Amino acid sequence: MPANVTTPQVSSPHLATTEILFNSILVATDFSRQAHQALKVAMSVGKAFHARLLLVHATIPMVFDVESGPIPEELLNASLEADKKEMQNLVANEAGLNEINPTRVVSLGEVVDLVNTAAHDQKVDLVVIGSHGASGFERLALGSVAESVLHRSTCPVMIVGPNCLLVEHPFRSILFTTDLTSTGFRAAQYAAGLAERFHGRLTLLHAIHPTGFEAGTAAAERAHRELEQLLPQDISQYCKTELRIAAGKPADEILAAAKSLAASLIIVGLKDRPLADHATWSTLSHVIREANCPVLGVRGHL
């Protein structure tokens, strides 16, 4: 069970307040239902920031015989034109999207490379992408495009999972989760900055292994102090904050906290070399698959 802790007044160092701006948002789409859900989330975030929108689609022609040699140029061109038409229809038929007049990129290529190139060239502040939530052998065989984008992007990536619900105010209730050792401070600044900007509720969560938690309060007290140092000292003037120390598996505790808080966004910090830690990858995949709100991944340290 999580332990709710009231933040004490201490003289330890804190992070400074940082203004977070999403002026340019890239939405990766494959025209699926989940991509459509991600687009709606991106439009909601874009409205909050008055951001410009960039829609990106990677054309990957269907190949039925891998031994038949290179794909004929006419097939490539036909696939490309069909997808451009699909993008045109998307913009025309999605309520409010045509008025935004988003930039559109439809190109042949691999999804992750195209998204990262477009994000770099267009100086994007945020990437939004849907996830179908594959698990087990399906995920091992196919991988996860959304998570590949997440782990290779140089800017924050918001993943909209299969159970994600649309909310009018995406920063109303923010849950920031950290292991306090490797996820970095930059994600904490995003959490605090977004909560301050929109006067939302911010909850910081750290999960401790149950055996360590039951052995005494020292670990919980230390974790509390470290969580408290991630908050700007003046944040209470702008939003309500709460620190939570939980005993249990991180994915389970994150999802339980998100549900009890009616979280509108979960923020996680990403390691510089995420694939080196299978436990972190597994936890993140589980959260993305089951959460009822988007998951924002932020890489790097201050």
Give me the pLDDT at residue 278, please: 53
Give me the pLDDT at residue 221, please: 85
Q: What 3-state class would DSSP assign to 82?
A: helix
Give me the pLDDT at residue 69, please: 61
CATH code for 24-160? 3.40.50.620
8 Å CB contact between 296 and 158: yes
Give me the pLDDT at residue 4, please: 47
Give me the pLDDT at residue 5, please: 44
Q: Which fold has domain 3-19+166-299?
A: Rossmann fold (3.40.50)
C-alpha distances (whole Å) from 259 to each of 196, 213, 233, 253, 262 are 22, 22, 27, 10, 5
Give me the pLDDT at residue 19, please: 84
For 107, residues 6+ apart whose C-beta sits below 8 A from its C-beta are 57, 58, 59, 80, 114
d(CA 288, CA 286): 6
Residues lower than pLDDT 50 in the chain? 1-11, 136-143, 275-276, 302
Give me the pLDDT at residue 262, please: 96
Give me the pLDDT at residue 299, please: 84
| Token representation of residue 244 | 């939570």
pLDDT for 15-69, tens place per residue?
666 789 999 999 999 999 999 999 999 999 999 999 999 999 999 866 555 566 6
Instruction: Establish whether domains 3-19+166-299 and 24-160 are of one fold.
Output: yes
Domain definitions of the chain by residue range: 3-19+166-299, 24-160
Q: What 3-state class would DSSP assign to 119?
A: helix
